[in-house]
Amino acid sequence: MPGRFQKLDHKPRVIVTRRLPQPVETRMAELFDVTLNLDDHPMTREELAAAMGEAEVLAPTVTDQIDAALIEGAGPQLKLIANFGVGVDHIDLAAARARGIAVTNTPGVLTDDTADMVMTLILAVARRVFTGERMVRAGEWQGWSPTGMLGHRITGKRLGIVGMGRIGQAVAARARAFGMSVHYHNRHRLPKAIEGPLEATWWPTLEAMLARVDIVSLNCPETQETHHIINDQRLRQMQRHAYLINVARGPLVDEEALVAALERRGIAGAGLDVFEHEPAIHPRLLELPNVVLLPHMGSATFEARQEMGEKVITNIRVFADGHRPPDQVLEDY
């Protein structure tokens, strides 16, 4: 909308909610009137409210719940929420739109690292990597045996990707290189130019795909439509030998139902980088041998985190210059 973005006549007042890589913080201090979170503590709701009463730009992360009440209580000076991360499920977008606050994210720069983590988890679960590692460290390894530590081959298996955006497609390319066949469920079928090289099969219904694939990877955003997209009923549609991989968002999975499915061996295992109530982990998940649990580290490379910071800076600079920031999330804003 013309005139929506206004050039600022001063350095924007920016508050960053967590520690960012040093070069990013240094550059922010040069460019902006910035307050950094030097001890990196996750901000309390009160601290967030205070920040939103003062900042023109808030740069939050996934650990900040920016809900409707916080946005409605923000001061009139708050004009941009420049998120450090792709997922914006922790920000109430409707409330931001209603208040005329722009929201940006950091797409693209963490795609490959996150897709690598999907492959890591597929291999770790199917080949029992951490079971073996724990055995060696515990001094329990008695030596090689023809029938010891057997897992499952991933070559030739069917991978079902739920959400075929940037990360889903990057997972598909890697899976092809490992000799897997690619299946996907997405609201829209992808153009032939993308489907073709991946030899990807589109499944219009998730249920039908779940019943046919050996490994399911969740790569969609968390929205009202995708909350608990994997629930008890859908876990029962998966094959008993199938694995579930989630590097996207914990609440995509009904964790109670997942634990029950794993306990009754309704599915063979799971590789999880995200959790429904993270950082809390369902206590019974911790007891299960057939799961690999990681601390939300899909994009945790030095390279990705620096490039994410650079994207946050670019979004703020373009915004402060009076233009639509490149990674504006609200399409109709």
Q: Is 278 a catalytic residue?
A: yes
Q: Give the integer Cα–Cα distance in Å for 226 and 149.
A: 36
Please tell me whether residue 78 binds ligand 8YV under the rule CB under 6 A: no
Which residue among 17, 37, 226, 299 contacts ligand 8YV (CB under 6 A)?
299
CB of 194 to ligand 8YV, least distance (A): 22
- Shortest Å distance, C-beta 162 to ligand 8YV: 16
Q: Catalytic: which of 234, 296, 305, 307?
A: 296
> Stretches 85-93, 232-240, 260-268, 277-285: which one binds ligand 8YV (CB under 6 A)?
85-93
- What is the smallest separation between the CB atom of 298 and ligand 8YV, expressed in angstroms? 5
Q: Is 275 in the site for ligand 8YV (CB under 6 A)?
A: no
**Piece of the chain touching ligand 8YV by CB under 6 A; list 80-88, 202-210, 230-238, 250-258:** 80-88
Q: Residues binding ligand 8YV: what is the number (CB under 6 A)?
A: 9
Note whether 84 binds ligand 8YV by CB under 6 A. yes
Burial (CB < 10 A; 0-12, 13-18, 19+), residue 333, is middle
Of 78-86, 166-174, 205-213, 236-244, the segment contacting ligand 8YV by CB under 6 A is 78-86
Answer yes or no whether residue 85 interacts with ligand 8YV by CB under 6 A.
yes
86 near ligand 8YV, rule: CB under 6 A: yes
Q: Which is the catalytic residue, given 25, 47, 54, 278?
A: 278
Stretch of 44-52, 79-87, 160-168, 180-188 contacting ligand 8YV, by CB under 6 A: 79-87
Choosing from 158, 183, 249, 305, which is the catalytic residue?
249
Nearer to ligand 8YV, 299 or 315 (CB): 299
> Would residue 249 show up in a list of annotated catalytic residues for this protein?
yes
Binding marks (x or -) toward ligand 8YV, 40..69, rule CB under 6 A?
---------------------xx-------
Residue 120 touches ligand 8YV, criterion: CB under 6 A: no
Q: Report d(CA 320, CA 147) in Å as an integer.
A: 63
Query: Of residues 52, 110, 229, 320, which one binds ligand 8YV by CB under 6 A?
Result: 110
- Partners of 185 in the β-ladder: 162
SS3 sequence of the chain: CCCCCCCCCCCCEEEECCCCCHHHHHHHHHHCEEECCCCCCCCCHHHHHHHHCCCCEEECCCCCCECHHHHHCCCCCCCEEECCCCCCCCECHHHHHHHCCEEECCCCCCHHHHHHHHHHHHHHHHCCHHHHHHHHHCCCCCCCCCCCCCCCCCCCCEEEEECCCHHHHHHHHHHHHCCCEEEEECCCCCCHHHHHHHCCEECCCHHHHHCCCCEEEECCCCCCCCCCCECHHHHHHCCCCCEEEECCCHHHECHHHHHHHHHCCCCCEEEECCCCCCCCCCHHHHHCCCEEECCCCCCCCHHHHHHHHHHHHHHHHHHHCCCCCCCECCCCC
| Residues marked as catalytic | 249, 278, 296
Binding interface with ligand 8YV (CB under 6 A): 61-62, 84-87, 110, 298-299
